Structure 1
C-alpha cells in the first residue's frame, strides 16, 4: 500500500480495495487506525470499514468535507439544548432560563422562534420571570438580528458593555477528530477531580445540575504528573456536538491539551451520529481563537447580553 501513513489518522482518505473475485471498491471516510496489517476507515454514517493492507490497491488522503453554510436559527436553539438551564419556561417558542445566577447562558432569555405574542408583551413576561427569581433580566441576542434591533428599540441596553462579543463557531467532525496527542479519558459523569480542574473557585451546587443536565453528555479529562490538568464537556443534540467548559491548568498550557480534549470529544460523538461541532469563545481570547481557527472552526454568529433598567 502507498500514500497513507500514521500522520493521516483522523483525516479523510479514499481507499480502493479488493472485495474478492477481482472486484474493487472504494471506501471514503476518516482514517481511524493504521497498523502493519490493517487499516480502518470511518464512513460519514459512523460505520467502520476494516481493510487488510494486502487487499488495498490504492489509497491516498483527500481534502476534508467543505464546511457547509450553517442554519443559524437552528444552531441558536441547539446551543441552549446542549447545555440546558436548571429551570426553563417558555413564552411561545422563546426560552426563559434560570440557574440561580450561575453563568449568563443559564440565566438569560433565548429569543429563538416566535414568542406567540407582540414582542413588547413577551418582554414584560421576561422581566416578571426574572424579578420573581431576584435575577437581572438578561437576553442573549445575536448581533445583527431582528431581535437585537427590536430589543434595543424597546429600551434594552448592553448588560456587559466592557466585555467582548462571544463567537459561536462551528466545523465538521472531519477537521477535529484526529488522534489526540494525549490520552483523553471520557466518562458519562464528572468526578470531584473534574470539577476541581474546571474552576479555581468552588462551584455552586447548581453547577452540577447545569453541567450534567443534557440527555447525552460526556466529560473529558487529561491527567499528567498524577493529577487532572485539563477538562472539557461535550453534549450531543441531533448531529451537533457541543464542546464547552474547556479549561487547562495554566502551568500546562501551550502544549496542545485543549486540542486533544476537542479531539477526544468529537471522536466520542462520531459513532453516535455526530457530524458537526460547535463551541463558544469570547472574541478577545486570542489564544483560543487561534487554536479553533487552525482546527477549521468558522464563525456562525456573535452574541451579546442585553438588559433593561
Structure 2
C-alpha cells in the first residue's frame, strides 16, 4: 500500500479494499467494501455490515484487494438450513428425514426432505411418507437435490417428476459483503408483516396458512419499500445460525426493473450482519431469467438444484 488513500478513488466504490489508518496509540487496518469516497472521507463497509468512516487525513495507505472467494458450502447442511429458515406448520421425522405439512401451501411446506439417514430402508421410509401425506389428504412429495443419492434411490423405487413442466429450482448462496451495500431506496424492516406487506406479497386473498409459515421462524424480518403512497416491493429474511435466508421477494408489476428487488436483498443483508450473519442463500426457478440475472449480479452462485418427486 502506498501513499495516503493509496490508489483507491471513487471509481473503486463497490470493490473490496484494505485501508490502514491512524487511531489513538497506533495504526489499524479495515478490510471491507468501499461504500463511498471523497477527498476528505473514506467509507468502508465490513462483512458484518459495520460502516467505518475514516477521515482521509488519517489514512496512511489503502488499496483494492481481490474479492474473497466463496468457501465451499456444506450442501447437506444448507439443504437442512433452508427448511429451518421457513419451517412448515406440522413436521415429523423418519430417522433424519423430515416430513412437512402446511395445508398444501407451497411445495417446500408440504414435502419430504430426505437428508441424512432415515434409519430404515428407503422403501420403508417412503411408505411412511406416503401414509403421512395421505392422512392429511396431500399428495406425497419429496424435495430432492438433483443428482443426489436420494434422488437416484427414490426414482429407482418408482417415484416420478411431480412438476415435469417446471424448471429446476436453484439454491444460490454468497457472502454478506457482496450484498449488504447501501440500498437505493428506503427499506422498511419490521419484525411482523403488516396488512400492506401481505397485500403486496399476494395476488388476491392471503392463504389461511401462509402467516403461520412465513411468521413461524424463530428469527425473521419483513422488508418493504413504499413508493407513491403504496408498498410496491416486499421480501422476507430469516436467520439460521450464520445463514440469512431471503425469500418471498415480490415487486409490483409497474415498478419492476428499477432495482427494488436488489434493495430488498440489501436491506435484509444489512440487518443480518449485526445479528451474526455471514452468508446468505435464496431460491429461484432457473426459468426466471430476470431474477437469475439480478442475483448473479449481486454475487450469488449456485449451491445445488432441486426438484419434486411424487409416488405413482
TM score, norm. by length of structure 2: 0.92
Map of 1:5-24 to 2, 5 A cutoff? 11-20=15-24, 23-24=26-27
Deviation of residue 293 (structure 1)?
Answer: 1.2
CA RMSD between the two structures? 2.0
In structure 2, the gaps of 5 or more residues are none
Q: Give the structure 2 partner of residue 63 of structure 1.
A: 66
Deviation of residue 117 (structure 1)?
Answer: 1.0
1:123-145 Cα shifts (integer Å, max 9, x gaps): 11101100110000000000000
Contact 1:139 1:307 in 2 (8 A): yes
In structure 1, the gaps of 5 or more residues are none
Give the Cα–Cα distance (whole angstroms) in 1 for the partners of residues 138 and 45 of structure 2: 47
The 3 A distance-change label for structure 1 pair 6 and 235 is: farther
| Counterpart pick for 2:305 among 290, 302, 309 | 302
Deviation of residue 56 (structure 1)?
Answer: 1.4
Give the Cα–Cα distance (whole angstroms) in 2 for the partners of residues 11 and 191 of structure 1: 36
Deviation of residue 294 (structure 1)?
Answer: 1.4
1:264-299 Cα shifts (integer Å, max 9, x gaps): 111111111111111100110111111111111111
TM score, norm. by length of structure 1: 0.93
Q: Give the structure 1 partner of residue 275 of structure 2.
A: 272
Deviation of residue 54 (structure 1)?
Answer: 2.5
Give the Cα–Cα distance (whole angstroms) in 2 for the partners of residues 252 and 61 of structure 1: 35
| In the alignment, structure 1 residue 133 sits paired with structure 2 residue 127 | no
Give the Cα–Cα distance (whole angstroms) in 2 for the partners of residues 161 and 24 of structure 1: 60
| In the alignment, structure 1 residue 106 sits paired with structure 2 residue 109 | yes
Contact 1:11 1:174 in 2 (8 A): no
User: Which moves more between the two structures, 23-32 or 77-86?
Assistant: 23-32
Deviation of residue 78 (structure 1)?
Answer: 0.5
Contact 1:10 1:174 in 2 (8 A): no
1:75-113 Cα shifts (integer Å, max 9, x gaps): 100000010001111111111000000000000000011
1:36-63 Cα shifts (integer Å, max 9, x gaps): 8655545446666554332111233333
Give the Cα–Cα distance (whole angstroms) in 2 for the partners of residues 196 and 167 of structure 1: 27
User: Which moves more between the two structures, 60-69 or 208-217?
Assistant: 60-69
